[in-house]
Amino acid sequence: MTRQFTYSGSPAHIVFGNGSSSQVAVWIERLGCRRALVLSTPHQAGDGEALAKKLGALAVGTFAGAAMHTPVEVTETALAKVRDVNADCVVALGGGSTTGLGKAIAYRTDLPQIVIPTTYAGSEVTPILGQTETGVKTTVRDAKILPEVVIYDPELTVGLPVAMSITSGLNAMAHAAEALYAQDRNPVSTLMAAEGLRALKQALPVLIEEPKNLAARGDALYGAWLCGTVLGTVGMALHHKICHTLGGSFDMPHAETHAVMLPHTIAFNAVAVPELLKPVVDIFGGSAGGGLHDFAKSVGAPLTLKELGLKQTDLDRAAELATKNPYWNPRPFDRAAIRALLQDAWEGRRPQH
Ligand code: NAD
């Protein structure tokens, strides 16, 4: 029986398809803007410059300083540039780090954002901003943070290295897997989550063999959009709490940490809500956590926290921090349960459930 639910659609414009990034100028004008600042990381500075050049007079500058976890100092330097060039919108070209910088600027100025994602992180469709100041990561949620326009162009993702494509794809899948049991889930979020998992499960193995396969790149980006959308619309639970703890307090790499933790957190929750995780079993086979582990192994994803550099001696503190101010979770837990779960993830054991 369908349970009670509330549903709110995202007000963002989504533009999808090969070559769609040629429409940036059209969307700048549709937003009523004329002076875009193009954002990127230092690594993608060349792509940012090339986009600015294509935009001609509609681009008034570039800022290539975006960094992981949105440091407030970087945002302040970018804001000075926004004021300097009198920008009236930002165009973020890149992964979650660049999207994060655009969101941080919009949060402070309410400037409209156009995002052109080049990874599968999913940040571009959420009203959530995580930022760091003096080593502390805080998260804010605000309507101003949600980008107005997202342009998904699979052609821009063919250069995403295979290893990053895999971990980024698993990062996206983690949003969908947790959305399936979210307390505030609704029929649409569940459909999107299952379809996002299916699309990424189909695409990632193809990308290993053929990184430039545009159909598979399109499927992966489509999956990323769906997974990101559910991240933005329903609450996340234990998996995201543990990953935020490991990223924020132990400086663990974002997408890789999600990839390693996913089978373990889903197996842990599968004990409590097997019926809600049935789409995971249907898509990956086996048990929910076991199927995800087998899939991650088959696509060459990292399987252990150990190989990501976490020390075994950090696991006690990680368990303590991850159980402080816990997010809602379908299965109750205590510090000892999370310590055991982290040990399994550190060693990369195949989960039973
Ligand atoms: P990233 O944006 O840090 O990218 C990693 C590196 O890959 C960067 O150097 C980037 O320039 C490069 N890169 C990106 N796309 C490329 C491409 N197509 N080809 C070659 N190089 C490319 O990594 P990410 O995993 O996309 O984002 C992680 C960040 O996003 C974290 O800070 C995380 O907290 C945040 N995030 C936020 C949300 C949210 O809703 N607020 C959601 C997901 C992730």
Indicate the burial class of 225 (C-beta count within 10 angstroms; 0-12, 13-18, 19 or more).
Answer: buried
Residue closest via CA to ligand 1's atom 7 equals 95
In tens, the pLDDT along 41-64 reads: 999 999 999 999 999 999 999 999
Residues framing ligand 1 (Cβ under 6 A): 41, 43-44, 68-69, 94-98, 100, 118-119, 121-123, 126, 128-130, 157, 159-160, 168, 231, 254-255
pLDDT > 80? residue 277: yes
Residues 44, 64: contact at Cβ < 8 Å?
yes
pLDDT > 80? residue 22: yes
Atom of ligand 1 nearest to the CA of 130: 41
Q: At 8, is the pLDDT very low, low, confident or very high (cuts 50, 70, 90)?
A: confident
Atom of ligand 1 nearest to the CA of 157: 18
CA of 277 to the centre of ligand 1 (A): 27
Indicate the burial class of 300 (C-beta count within 10 angstroms; 0-12, 13-18, 19 or more).
Answer: middle
Residues 172, 196: contact at Cβ < 8 Å?
yes
pLDDT > 90? residue 10: no
- Region 150-166: what's the mean pLDDT? 98
Q: At 2, is the pLDDT very low, low, confident or very high (cuts 50, 70, 90)?
A: confident
Q: What pLDDT is recorded for position 11?
A: 87
pLDDT > 80? residue 136: no
